[in-house]
Amino acid sequence: MKPAPFARHVPKTLDEALKILAEVAPEDGRVLAGGQSLVPIMAFRLAKPAHLVDINEVEGLDRLSSDGKVLTIGARVRHGAFHKPVTDNPLGALLSYVARHIAHYPIRMRGTYCGSCSHADP
Ligand SMILES: Cc1cc2nc3c(=O)[nH]c(=O)nc-3n(C[C@H](O)[C@H](O)[C@H](O)COP(=O)(O)OP(=O)(O)OC[C@H]3O[C@@H](n4cnc5c(N)ncnc54)[C@H](O)[C@@H]3O)c2cc1C
């Protein structure tokens, strides 16, 4: 099957993305991150969002940083970013261990941590 018709928005900045999301939210507007969950369910028409806000070109969302106490994971950080420990503390080793068990390599290089935490259900 193929997805139902939808409009794709490609913001370049976070402000632009948030503005569009606010506008399209009432019409089932959704974030498109790695597409690993959303695209298949759209193809089966289990989800029919009228708008997709594609965050793949939004500046800065791929930032992953740690100050030793707080780990900040941008909305476009892929699972693959955790293949190697991202911090020197035990959390880095734990996330690296977990990441290597998520799906398989191509999905980890595209799917995002934030997308995995969000509901893809219609
Ligand atoms: C075969 C297969 C096996 C998998 N195995 C595992 C596994 O073992 N463990 C695991 O944890 N995951 C697993 N996944 C999930 C995968 O790791 C992806 O993380 C997941 O598909 C969603 O991430 P995505 O970036 O592709 O999100 P998308 O498919 O783009 O989006 C998924 C949902 O999240 C919403 N969303 C995405 N980003 C945001 C955001 N920043 N803010 C608000 N909403 C957002 C979208 O609107 C959508 O509703 C698997 C996926 C597949 C296809």
Q: What string of pLDDT tens digits covers the 122 residues of the chain?
A: 899 999 999 999 999 999 999 999 998 899 999 999 999 999 999 999 999 999 999 999 999 999 888 999 999 999 999 999 999 989 999 999 999 999 999 999 999 999 888 765 54
Q: Tell me if 32 CB under 6 Å of ligand 1.
A: yes
Contact 41 CB / ligand 1 (< 6 Å): no
What integer pLDDT is reported at residue 91 of this predicted model? Answer: 92
Ligand 1 centroid to Cα of residue 29, in Å, is 16
How far CA 91 is from CA of 71, 83, 87, 98, 115, in Å, comes to 9, 13, 7, 10, 20
Ligand 1: nearest atom to the Cα of 36: 26
- CB neighbourhood size of 61 (10 A): 19
Could you tell me the domains of the chain? Answer: 7-117 (3.30.43.10)
CA of 16 to the centre of ligand 1 (A): 22
Q: 37 in ligand 1 pocket by Cβ < 6 Å?
A: yes
Q: Whole-angstrom Cα distance, residue 77 to residue 56?
A: 10
Three-class SS state of 112: strand
Residue 8, exposed/middle/buried by CB under 10 A (0-12, 13-18, 19+)? exposed
pTM to 2 decimal places: 0.93
pLDDT of residue 121: 55
